[in-house]
Structure 1
Amino acid sequence: MGSFPGHVLPGTLFLVIGVWHIWSALVRYSSNPKSFRVRVWSPVPGFDGKLKYLELYVVAIGGFIDFCIELFYSTHLRLLVHGALNPIHMNNFEHAGMLLMFVIFGLIVLLSEKTSFLPLPEGALCLIAATAFSAEYFLFFFHSTTHKGLEGYYHLILVLLIGLCILSTIAGALMPTSFPIDLASGISVALQGLWFYQTAFTLYGPMMPDGCQLKGNDVMCRSEDSEVRGELLANLQLFSIIFVVLAATAGAYGFAASETSHKDIRNSHMALDG
């Protein structure tokens, strides 16, 4: 089933990384559009380079902490039953496997960027990131926990957002100079993080729709009409989240362009005005 912290923690990681990816893409493009390249990760400037790899450390360490919570804390160390994986905690094992993929991604990129043992081009790193998102996609699509009703609807939307992450990341490897693709990648990751939050507050928090309630490990609705109203509310929530993210991205681009706008961008704006 899941829990409130079980959705908020990964949601926070995806949201932070997504927002940083959006901002970095905007700044890099507005600074020099001709030299723009898609990046699967973005260095943190300043501080004498001490925080350059902060994003990768957040992915690797944050993912590892969440991995440990799913594998050890949530299972109460009852990993095996009669020599086999404990069937009660299969969803925790699946979540741990998903998180492990992102930990591996963070470590591979760190090795590629900081050492000479595994020098990989940016396109290859994009495909590795797409592999991690694909593992997450298949985990939620073929989840051992059967998602039904309103809960299933929220997780269906989550799967679709993960699919956007996969497509945009693969597109980044195929079109390494495309600013829209890089921006779409950051937006899709941020949307995924926000939807984790929305799922947590709706299914496990104070935003449960009228006529539905959490009973044990299941979300139960009094009638089909209550379930339909809950799904329509989910559609409205998704639209609102997308609108907020796009509006915030547009505002952030305006700010970045005013601070670092390259002459090519200014000239293109002047040409359009003329």
Structure 2
Amino acid sequence: MGSFVGHAVPGTFFFFFGMWFTYRMFQRYFLCQVAAAGSGGEKCRSRYRNVSSFACPGTLPPTGEFATAFDAGKFTHIGNAQHMTMFFFFGLNGVMDVLTHYRIPVPPDMDYVSAVLAFSMEALLFYYHLHGRSHMDVQVHMLLFYVVLACAVSTALEMCYKNNVLPALCRSYFTLLQGTWFYQIGFILYPPWGPTWDQENHGQMMMVTLFFTWHNATIFVIMALAGSLIYLRVKAKGPAAMYHGLHGPLRMPKMDAEQIKNMIVDSEEEEV
């Protein structure tokens, strides 16, 4: 990861999967809310459940780390080995997600447990990744460490409170933040253009903290806008599309198109 590209690649994947997870969880939540409003009770609302379907890059990044770890035919870059180890744990999480998706008999919540393990190992590796670095290098990676740790905590809470959408949205939030901050680290430590940062300058280190707060604000606004648009899209769905949405990701009891149509009409009348 000792380059701009080395930070941009994981940043892209974390941001992409964070956005996808945000879309899917908002969609599941609002579909169930519409169904609950139509049925007029908590029985339907309680059927909302979080799922662990988040995946991280597990092939190209470790391949690149492995290919660049050799010097004169010898494996000399221990940092690459740490990065490959991190990707291995996320690959393991991907395997658990696949096994869970296809209902292979595995212990309960192994998809969540493997996700918590992957984020925890990533946090551990970053925490002990900074010996001998500049003060700014330590600062940006410690901020990343806090974000990764928050991913692990929110995933664990999501596992414990599967009927609450807030932990799932927190995981989306911190995954998106991890993606954008990876990019920011690349621009700070390995700028592809423009002047380089003085990594021992206190004023510029204060700017780094300010940038981090701006990233938090931007992610919050992005998720709020995404949630609003997804809600409007769910409300605008026709009966057939609503039927597919309810019986696909939510696996709710079968209803015909007329029942769903009546459910949506009742929901709209209640709002008026």
| TM superposition score normalised by structure 1 | 0.76
Query: Structure 1, residues 80-130: CA drift from partner, whole Å, max 9, x if none?
Result: 4xxxxx3xx1111111111111111112221332363x4344x33112100
Distance 1:165 1:208, change over 3 A: farther
Q: Does structure 1 retain, via aligned residues, the 8 Å contact 2:96–2:110?
A: no
The structural deviation recorded for 1:200 is 0.3
The answer to whether structure 1 residue 119 and structure 2 residue 112 are counterparts is no
Name the CA distance, whole Å, in 2 between partners of 1:64 and 1:242.
Answer: 29
Q: Does structure 2 retain, via aligned residues, the 8 Å contact 1:113–1:119?
A: no
The answer to whether structure 1 residue 163 and structure 2 residue 145 are counterparts is no
Name the CA distance, whole Å, in 1 between partners of 2:107 and 2:230.
Answer: 30
| Equivalent in 67, 73, 77 of residue 72 of structure 1 | 67
Q: Does structure 2 retain, via aligned residues, the 8 Å contact 1:11–1:194?
A: yes
RMSD of aligned alpha carbons: 2.7
How many pairs does the alignment contain? 232
Query: Structure 1, residues 47-85: CA drift from partner, whole Å, max 9, x if none?
Result: xxxxxxxxx5xx3xx3221011112234358444xxxxx
Could you tell me which residue of structure 1 aligns to residue 215 of structure 2?
Answer: 241
Query: Structure 1, residues 214-244: CA drift from partner, whole Å, max 9, x if none?
Result: xxxxxx43xxxxx221221112211111111
Could you tell me which residue of structure 1 aligns to residue 50 of structure 2?
Answer: 38
Q: Does structure 2 retain, via aligned residues, the 8 Å contact 1:31–1:260?
A: yes
User: Residue type of the partner of 2:52?
Assistant: V
> Equivalent residues in 2 for 1:169-188 (5 A)?
169-188=155-174
Could you tell me which residue of structure 1 aligns to residue 259 of structure 2?
Answer: none
Q: Does structure 2 retain, via aligned residues, the 8 Å contact 1:91–1:144?
A: no
The structural deviation recorded for 1:161 is 0.4
> Equivalent residues in 2 for 1:1-274 (5 A)?
2-33=2-33, 34=45, 35-41=47-53, 56=55, 59=56, 62-76=57-71, 78-80=73-75, 86=76, 89-114=77-102, 116=104, 118-121=105-108, 123-143=109-129, 145-205=131-191, 212=198, 220-221=199-200, 227-261=201-235
Query: Structure 1, residues 162-219: CA drift from partner, whole Å, max 9, x if none?
Result: 011010000011111111111111111110011000000111015887761xxxxxxx
DSSP 3-state at the match of 1:32: helix
Between the two proteins, what is the percent identity of the paired residues? 23
Distance 1:209 1:165, change over 3 A: farther
Query: Structure 1, residues 3-53: CA drift from partner, whole Å, max 9, x if none?
Result: 1111111111111111111111111111113222111117xxxxxxxxxxx
Q: Does structure 1 retain, via aligned residues, the 8 Å contact 2:130–2:138?
A: no
| TM superposition score normalised by structure 2 | 0.76
Name the CA distance, whole Å, in 1 between partners of 2:194 and 2:141.
Answer: 15
The structure that has the greater radius of gyration is 2
Q: Does structure 1 retain, via aligned residues, the 8 Å contact 2:189–2:197?
A: no
